[in-house]
Structure 1
Amino acid sequence: MRAPYACQPELSRGRLHDEALSTFRSPWQRDRDRIIHSSAFRRLKHKTQVFVEHEGDYYRTRLTHTIEVAQVARTIAGVLGLDTDLAEAVALAHDLGHPPFGHTGEDALAGLMAPYGGFDHNAQALRIVTRLERHYAGFDGLNLTWETLEGIAKHNGPVAPPWSYALADVNAQWDLELGTNASAEAQVAAVADDVAYNHHDLHDGLRAGLFDEAELAELPLIGPAFAQVDDLYPGLDPMRRRHEALRRVFGVMVEDVIAVAQNRLAASQPRSVDEIRAMDGPIIRFSKPLYQNLKAIKGFLFTRMYRAPTVMVERARVTQMLTELFPLLMDQPALMPEDWQAEIAGAGNDPAHRARVVLDYVAGMTDRFAIAEYHRLIGPSEFA
């Protein structure tokens, strides 16, 4: 039974290109399935979270991260009486626009695209699902519902102008009401993203040897979790001890989000999703005490993981690769595959259009393909 403030599939605003309703699936089940079957979703397998894709088999990729986010989103949405399929669809699509090499790649491409309308991975995800996926006879993109597109655009909150080119382009086709909150389902997907990466980055940092359990024990939330495990299972195998502690941290985050949302929903009594959109801020959030604890953990991870010396070396290398690949392809589009060359030729000599085509091509690369293209087109690098 969906709550009155949930998105109701029978009240969906529909699709940009009209289609007959599915016989067996709701609109958002159909969106979810199209996302899973897209080329961009498959490429997430070889795109990075923090570590470059070739560094090890155990570190999270964008695909494993996305699956974890979708699992958390379904759990929270189900408890709150929201539409679990819409929450899952937004979660599955939220990272489709990430370029190779994680946030390092995004930073590099944002700088390169600054003269041409900018780059943002959320906006690029919209561009992928509205234009760049080209498999259907009747339209470009996946022809997702308005609610799913809204969730991709606004799951992190209202988006103020100036917008990147990709976001402005989609919004011009179909007004996504960028100045309002997203649905509660999309807000759940955003919080699930935070839960997932706060949890798995601790795992990955430990596995990479960037810090150890003794250092984590000094942090709020994590220290008590390790202490609880030690009380319950003295002398536990180190790997099991780590897993038991971090899954407790995971549980605390999920339970906190649910409790806060239930209290806020009970207090405000929203009667529709439009009332959720019109609120002063998100209805789905961490409690203030937990948020402060997570802020301390994120500060630790920023220093010890995201800006660790070994990670910074990789950041410099992959930034150099992209900042050399992008202008080379701008100057010599004949180096790109024929279908991408045709995209550029179709708009004459407009440099902004050329840059957007080159961006779409480069941003769609996996880590391994970007490395291979760098080797092919520019020469040897420090990557094996």
Structure 2
Amino acid sequence: MDIEQLYADADRERIVAEPPKRVDAPERTAFERDRARVVHAAASRRLAAKTQVVGPQSDDFVRNRLTHSLEVAQVARDLARALGCHADVTETAALAHDLGHPPFGHNGERALASLSQDCGGFEGNAQTLRLLTRLEAKTFSENGSAGLNLTRATLDACTKYPWTRAFATDPGGVHSDGTPRFVVKFGVYDDDVEVFAWLRQGVEGTRKCLEAQVMDLADDVAYSVHDVEDGIVADRLDLTRLDLDALWETVRAWYLPECDDAELSDALASMQAQESWPRAAYDASRRSLAVIKNLTSDLVGRFCGSVQTATFAASDGPFIRHRADLVVPRQTEVEIGILKGIAAHYVMQAQDRVDLMERQRSLMAELFEGLWALGPDGLDPSFVEDWECAHDDATRQRVIVDQVASYTDARAISRHAELMRRS
């Protein structure tokens, strides 16, 4: 059966019905149009100036949120095609998955989560849904902005955590500075539940659709592999000299609290047995660059291949929407956790990085307070109407959160400097 026939008309439905395009326009499917809308969104362009792990201005090699999203999209599309789910739906979800991230990456998310407790909290994935369905204006109706007006299937695929904050579980682990994590994972704010109910029509519970599961895995794969690559090239870590005692402590604190040393050591040894695992320290030569690139390629293939095999073994499909689940083998989960732990231990826990992140959180707090004091006079024009329509302080605080979250790293720094001069 053709892939388009596996998806129902309801999967292609949009919140606001759209008339057919002009007859001389290129013929595209509904899901291809979704992808184009995300690619052309202003929020996508802003990702180029937002932190992935280290700031985008710190080096001309390291990844930013946009290049990370492109890599996630490539991994997601290839895995979707291998499994038999819609590649355009899955790739669009991958391209959109970080649109809601504020300046300074997860550190900025931590700051905004602390600042927004009185207005419903902050979470990057919930902000992504808000962007796609409200803030990134393309389609308007009598009820206001419908955002990019994406199809139901695509919006569902973009929903990594299909629940509100009230149903989120308590976070575990610690931040790089050793303080306990407090940012809970959820995918929809309370004032966006109406559109959430629409996109989840016919779905019970909190099960992610298969395309969202593929996007989530692709994010983990890209995050784990490429952050290690960035750390190596930035001379932050050496895969041939790992302090395992300290590393395992970080892996357990951040990602895999239930893993003992034996399981972690066996998983690391399995990865090290690959022919592409580096046997000498990185020296910035073309030959050593090739070694690192071959390693990242092999690891991506290793993880996606194991998941594909396990998923096919568990079900006959079809591998679309809510008709099947992705299966991630335990070995793969541990190996990904180890790579993420390597980046956390050698890059994110470095003292200079911890000090920088503290300064960033202070900047975010002062920026929020400065904009709150100015009210509509401090907002971009697109947010002024939201402020004027707000009926209470909590709603007005949400407008400030939306404004700050939209900033790039550089814009946040420059706006903060402006506000400090005015005060």
Contact 2:50/2:65, CA 8 A, preserved across alignment: yes
Which residue in 2 is equivalent to 1:142? 148
Comparing 200-209 with 164-173, which one deviates more in the overlay?
Answer: 164-173
Structure 1 residues 205, 271: closer, same or farther in 2, change over 3 A? Answer: closer
Contact 1:305/1:311, CA 8 A, preserved across alignment: yes
- Matched to 1:171, the amino acid is V
Structure 1 residues 208, 26: closer, same or farther in 2, change over 3 A? Answer: same
1:168-197 CA-partner distances (Å, limit 9, x unpaired): 333223512472322212211111111111
Which residue in 1 is equivalent to 2:182? none
Partner of 1:100, secondary structure, is coil
Structure 1 gaps, min length 5 = 277-282
The Cα shift of 1:261 comes to 1.5
Please state if 1:196 is matched with 2:222.
yes
Which residue in 1 is equivalent to 2:17? 18
Contact 1:205/1:305, CA 8 A, preserved across alignment: yes
The Cα shift of 1:165 comes to 9.6
- Matched to 1:331, the amino acid is A
Partner of 1:378, secondary structure, is helix
The equivalent position to 2:189 in structure 1, one of 167, 170, 179, is 167
- Matched to 1:263, the amino acid is A
Partner of 2:60, secondary structure, is coil
Alignment of 1:102-121 (within 5 A): 102-121=105-124
Sequence identity percentage: 33
Please state if 1:300 is matched with 2:349.
no
Give RMSD over aligned pairs. Answer: 2.9
Contact 2:120/2:190, CA 8 A, preserved across alignment: no
Which residue in 2 is equivalent to 1:127? 130
- Provide the C-alpha distance between the structure 1 equivalents of 2:397 and 2:323, rounded to a whole number of angstroms: 40
Contact 1:99/1:121, CA 8 A, preserved across alignment: yes
- Provide the C-alpha distance between the structure 1 equivalents of 2:351 and 2:341, rounded to a whole number of angstroms: 16
Please state if 1:37 is matched with 2:79.
no
Partner of 1:225, secondary structure, is coil
Comparing 122-131 with 220-229, which one deviates more in the overlay?
Answer: 220-229
Comparing 138-147 with 68-77, which one deviates more in the overlay?
Answer: 138-147
Structure 1 residues 265, 165: closer, same or farther in 2, change over 3 A? Answer: closer
Alignment of 1:1-384 (within 5 A): 1-2=1-2, 8=7, 10-12=9-11, 14-21=13-20, 24-136=27-139, 138=141, 140=145, 141-153=147-159, 155-156=160-161, 161-162=166-167, 166-175=188-197, 176=200, 177=203, 179-215=205-241, 219-225=268-274, 237-266=287-316, 269=317, 273-276=321-324, 283-333=325-375, 334-347=377-390, 350-379=392-421
1:282-317 CA-partner distances (Å, limit 9, x unpaired): x21421112122223323322222222121122111
- Matched to 1:147, the amino acid is A
1:128-174 CA-partner distances (Å, limit 9, x unpaired): 11111124454621111111221222x35666734779533332235
- Matched to 1:161, the amino acid is A
- Matched to 1:40, the amino acid is A
- Matched to 1:172, the amino acid is E
Contact 2:310/2:329, CA 8 A, preserved across alignment: yes
Contact 1:222/1:245, CA 8 A, preserved across alignment: no
- Provide the C-alpha distance between the structure 2 equivalents of 1:121 and 1:331, rounded to a whole number of angstroms: 24
* TM value normalised by structure 1: 0.86
* TM value normalised by structure 2: 0.79
The Cα shift of 1:221 comes to 4.7
1:240-267 CA-partner distances (Å, limit 9, x unpaired): 222222322222112112111111223x
State how many pairs are aligned.
Answer: 366
Structure 1 residues 316, 2: closer, same or farther in 2, change over 3 A? Answer: farther
- Matched to 2:153, the amino acid is E
- Matched to 1:223, the amino acid is Q
- Provide the C-alpha distance between the structure 2 equivalents of 1:39 and 1:48, rounded to a whole number of angstroms: 17
Contact 1:45/1:64, CA 8 A, preserved across alignment: yes
Structure 1 residues 151, 160: closer, same or farther in 2, change over 3 A? Answer: farther
Partner of 2:116, secondary structure, is helix
Contact 2:125/2:187, CA 8 A, preserved across alignment: no
- Provide the C-alpha distance between the structure 1 equivalents of 2:242 and 2:305, rounded to a whole number of angstroms: 21
